[in-house]
Amino acid sequence: MLHGGTAASARPLTISGEGMADDIILSAKGLGRDFKGFTAVGEVDLNVRRGSIHALIGPNGAGKTTCFNLLTKFLQPSRGQIVYNGRNITTMKPADVARLGLVRSFQISAVFGHLSVLENVRIALQRRRGDNFDFWRSEKVVRSLDPDAKALIDAVGLTPYLGTVAVELSYGRKRALEIATTLALEPEMLLLDEPMAGMGHEDVERTSALIRRVSANRTVLMVEHNLSVVASLSDTITVLARGNVLAEGTYESVSKDARVIDAYIGAGHA
Amino acid sequence: MANASAVVESPVAPVLPDANSAGRLHRRVIIGLALVLIVAPFVVYPVFLMKILCFALFACAFNLLLGYGGLLSFGHAAYFGMASYICAYTAKVWGWPPEVAILAGTLVAALLGLVFGALAIRRQGIYFAMITLALAQMVFFFSVQAKFTGGEDGIQAVPRGRLLGVLNLGDDRALYYFVAVVFMAGLLLIYRVIHSPFGQVLKAIRDNEPRAISLGFRANQYKLLVFVLSTTLAGLAGATKAIVFQLASLTDVNWTMSGEVVLMTLVGGLGTVFGPILGAIVIVSMENYLASLGAWVTVIQGIVFVVCVLLFREGIVGLFSRWLKQPL
């Protein structure tokens, strides 16, 4: 009992308002990547607050996707370090980062084409079983995951397509399936790579609502081109240009920044 | 707006038949196959049947890797042939009983697969294929040079022995039923692997590896496991073949053997459970019945292959599968 007491006082709980607000879930310091002499990302400092929706924007070639791939470990950084939940993940493998609850999406819709909608989501749920090396067991053992998979599929409105092979789905539905698959991992933090890319007007609204809903108890970092989406969804915006951070803040402050208007919005209106 | 979205929602998408009906169909096919295997030696020459069964198991093992793991190995002869040598040597020189010799050959193929697989899976696509080919060529030259393989002569007059010290495998029909049991066991294992939790992840990695990684699956470990499973079963086929023909030779480690198994799998139906069996029947039958044509057999095989790829890329069984709208 005494021991427990000292331990608690030595490590104060961070439930106070101040502590929560400054709680950084993912941070990058001096993150950079060169490709054979070409610097795609120079030195990026990024801090994502827990529970926020953070957008990464910038004109074409600003290094958004490279930066994104560095954070998810699909690319190894040339310099700098990445800390997630107080843990240095700079040299970790992408699958292991995913196991820590930092899960990414892809710009082109990433589904398992020859598997059904149900199987797509169930694959993600199979992560609960740990490693699935049991090749001698019947797949009946994974059918116990079906109710949970169906609930996730229902949440994104794909119930009529349970048995459909993923390649046969429309683009918007593939993206919905991808979100359901990602959510099946119950990630603590989501990294979305242009979630609205290639979507029609209605799909954008539906997906915006979906992102808002899933961000309720988790952190979202997204790369996005659609500025109205960014404006309405994000708490913080980081503007990248030529591989470096140009500005950071709320949409109001960022959109008034002269350098941002010059590099990004200005270029768009030119 | 509401109307527009309602119109989009209405078309009924093609639906995969549920797993149960596909499972029932597969069970029927497997039972039918078992019945055919029981009756077949009364109709067809047993040694010819055994040759088909060995190659069918080899092709099924190859198909597990390519059709379900998406990995094109162009050096599967190495595992087939090396297992054949080990089995022949241990049975003949050390006098091991046939079942132990076959197990020894299979085990060596598994170990070889583990080492070669660990090297090859570091690269993807054509580079993976080239590494497996290069390693298989090394096995070929080792087989030419090493003393125990008998070089150009191979290992001849391998005793068939007595199974478990009881059943005399010198009798063709007895040996046939033993080989048929080995084949069915191999096929059932492959079927189980495909339809296991592991098989599900495997198919996901085949379809989209980066996505599978982003879900937290360590893709390379899955690829290595399926590679070893495939080489083990290829080894089982090769070792069994050594007992059947009482011979292990350079033919079985040659790169042309690696090509032949690709041919069987593609003609029969890549990524189908039963396709490689049919592919093996077609190719082995052609070699057998057209043997009088000499080198022209390979030309005819080539034509069959080209026609197959041009007309029905999914192979013969793949074509049936499309008609039945059921995976086979």
pLDDT at B14 over 70: no
pLDDT at B225 over 90: yes
pLDDT at B158 over 50: yes
pLDDT (mean) for B235-250: 93
- Predicted pLDDT at A267: 53
Please name the member of B193, B196, B204 whose beta carbon is closest to the beta carbon of A115.
Answer: B204
B279-326 residue pLDDT tens: 999 999 988 888 888 788 888 888 888 888 888 888 888 888 888 888
Output the CA torsion A123→A126→A132→A138 (10° steps).
-90
- Predicted pLDDT at B19: 61
In sequence order, the 6+-apart residues with CB closer than 8 A to the CB of B22 are B326, B327
Whether residues B14 and A169 touch (CB distance < 8 A) is answered with no
Within an 8 Å CB–CB cutoff, is residue A134 touching chain B? Answer: yes
pLDDT at B18 over 80: no
pLDDT (mean) for B266-277: 91
- Predicted pLDDT at B224: 96
A128-169 residue pLDDT tens: 888 888 888 888 888 889 899 999 998 888 889 888 899 988
Whether residues A126 and B201 touch (CB distance < 8 A) is answered with yes
Within an 8 Å CB–CB cutoff, is residue B195 touching chain A? Answer: yes
pLDDT (mean) for B145-164: 85
Q: Are A220 and A190 in contact (CB under 8 A)?
A: yes
Q: How many Å separate Cα A228 from the centre of its chain?
A: 19
CA closest to B223 among chain A residues: A133
Position B54 confidence tier, pLDDT thresholds 50, 70, 90:
very high
Whether residues B215 and A98 touch (CB distance < 8 A) is answered with yes
pLDDT at B165 over 90: no
Within an 8 Å CB–CB cutoff, is residue A99 touching chain B? Answer: yes
pLDDT (mean) for B235-249: 94
ipTM above 0.85, yes or no: no
Q: Are B65 and B271 in contact (CB under 8 A)?
A: no
Please name the member of B16, B207, B225 whose beta carbon is closest to the beta carbon of A113.
Answer: B207
Q: Are B148 and B142 in contact (CB under 8 A)?
A: no
B70-123 residue pLDDT tens: 999 999 999 999 999 999 999 989 989 999 999 999 999 999 999 999 999 998
CA distance B22 to chain A (A): 13
Please name the member of B4, B197, B213 whose beta carbon is closest to the beta carbon of A142.
Answer: B197
How far apart, in whole angstroms, are the C-alpha atoms of residue B240 and residue A22?
Answer: 67
Please name the member of B16, B18, B196 whose beta carbon is closest to the beta carbon of A137.
Answer: B196
CATH number for the segment(s) A23-269: 3.40.50.300
Whether residues B229 and A106 touch (CB distance < 8 A) is answered with no
DSSP state of A165: B
Q: Are A122 and A67 in contact (CB under 8 A)?
A: no
Q: Are strands A79-84 and A24-35 parallel, antiparallel or unpaired?
A: antiparallel
A61-74 residue pLDDT tens: 788 888 888 998 88
Which of B201, B175, B170 has its CA nearest to residue B51? B175
Within an 8 Å CB–CB cutoff, is residue B200 touching chain A? Answer: yes
DSSP class per residue in A243-265:
TEEEEEE-HHHHHH-HHHIIIII
pLDDT under 70: residue ranges of chain A: 1-22, 109, 264-270
Which of A219, A229, A224, A228 has its CA nearest to residue A239? A224
Within an 8 Å CB–CB cutoff, is residue A137 touching chain B? Answer: yes
pLDDT at B22 over 90: no
CA closest to B201 among chain A residues: A123
pLDDT at B52 over 50: yes
Question: A209 to each of A109, A196, A213, A234, B289, how far by Cα in Å?
Answer: 18, 12, 6, 12, 67
pLDDT at B241 over 70: yes
Whether residues B196 and A131 touch (CB distance < 8 A) is answered with no
How far apart, in whole angstroms, are the C-alpha atoms of residue B242 and residue B248?
Answer: 5
Whether residues A133 and B222 touch (CB distance < 8 A) is answered with yes
- Predicted pLDDT at A263: 73
* % of chain B residues with pLDDT over 70: 94
How far apart, in whole angstroms, are the C-alpha atoms of residue A169 and residue A175?
Answer: 9
Within an 8 Å CB–CB cutoff, is residue A70 touching chain B? Answer: no
Within an 8 Å CB–CB cutoff, is residue B196 touching chain A? Answer: yes
Interface size between A and B, measured as CB pairs under 8 A? 129
- Average pLDDT, whole number, for chain B? 88
CA distance B307 to chain A (A): 26
pLDDT (mean) for B254-281: 91
Lowest mean pLDDT among A40-49, A64-73, B1-10, B140-149: B1-10
pLDDT (mean) for B154-168: 83
**Side-chain-facing half-sphere of B232: CA atoms under 13 Å:** 15
Q: Which residues of A touch B212 (CB under 8 A)?
A: 112, 123
pLDDT (mean) for B142-150: 88
Whether residues A135 and B225 touch (CB distance < 8 A) is answered with yes
Residue for token pair 């493998």 = A93
- Predicted pLDDT at B306: 87
Lowest mean pLDDT among B7-21, B30-44, B99-113, B234-248: B7-21
Better-scored residue on pLDDT, B206 or B295: B206
